[in-house]
Structure 1
Amino acid sequence: MTITDKLRDSKAFYVAAGAGDLAVEKLREVPDRLNKLQEKTDPKDIGGAAVAYVTHVGTRAVEVYDGLAERGKRIVSRVDRQKATQELEESAKATVRRARTAAGSAKSTVRSAAKATGDASKKVGT
C-alpha cells in the first residue's frame, strides 16, 4: 500500500479536510453577518458598544483566519520536509522519466514498423 493510499484511508485526513472546508465556509459568512449586524445596530440606542463588539468580532475573525493559514503553512512545510514525501516525489519523477522514455521508444518502434511495412508492401507488389 502506497503512502497516498494510506493517507486516503485515514479518517483523520478526512476530518482535517472537512474541518478546513467548514472553517472556510464559516469565515466566508463573517463579512455578511457583520454587515447585517451593523445595519441592525443603532449606535444611538445602545451606544458605541454594539459597533465596538462588531468591530472586535471582525478583527478576531481575521486573526483566527490568519492563524489557521499560518498553521496550515507550517504543517505543509513540515510534510514537505519529511523523508517519505521526498521519496514519493523522487519516485514520481523517476516514473515520469521512465514513461517519457517508454513513449519515445514506442514512437520509434511505430516509425520502424511503419517503414518495414511500407518496404514489405513494395516488395510484395513487385
Structure 2
Amino acid sequence: MPITDEIKKTLTDPTPLYALAGAGDLAYEKLREVPGRVEALAADRQGAQDKATARLHEAQELLAGAPAKVTEAVTAFPTDLKVLQERAQGFALQQVARAVELAVRAKETYDELAERGKVVVEKARPHGDAEPTELDPTIELDPTIEPALAPETAPAPAPAPAPKNPAKARKNTPTVAE
C-alpha cells in the first residue's frame, strides 16, 4: 500500500504548516518596517530626483554614440561557429549550475521558514498543551474501500431478488385495513 503510506506521511508531516506559519511571521515582521521606510523615502525624495536627472543626462549622452557602438559590436562578432558553439555550451552549463544553486537555496529557505514557524506555533500554543510529535489525521484510510463513483457513472442498484415462494411472500406483506 505505498499510496496510502504516502498519503499518511503527507497528512502527518507538520513541516509545510510550520513553513506557512514562518512565512506569515516573516511577512508580518517586514510589514512593520514599512512606515519607517516610507518616512525615509519621503526625506530622500529631493536627492532621488537629482540622481534621476543626472542619470537621464548620462543616458542621453550614451544614446548619442549608440549607432557607432552597435556597428562596432556587430563587426566584432566571432565568425567561427565553433567558438560560438563553445560559448553557448558554457553558458548552458552555467545556467544549469545556477538552477541547482537556486534549488539548494530554496530548500534552505523552506527549512528556515519551517523552523521559524515551529517557534511561532510553540509560542502561540497554550502552555498546558503537550507538543505533538506529529499531526494526527482525522481520517483513517482503509485500503479495501473503493473510491466512490460520480452519480452519473454509478451503476444502477441491483433489483431485489424475487421470493422463491410467492404465497409465502404475500402472507408476510402487510395489508392496509379498510
Q: TM-score, normalised by structure 1?
A: 0.34
For CA contacts below 8 A with separation 6 or more, give which structure has more relative contact order: 2
Report the structure number with the largest CA radius of gyration.
2
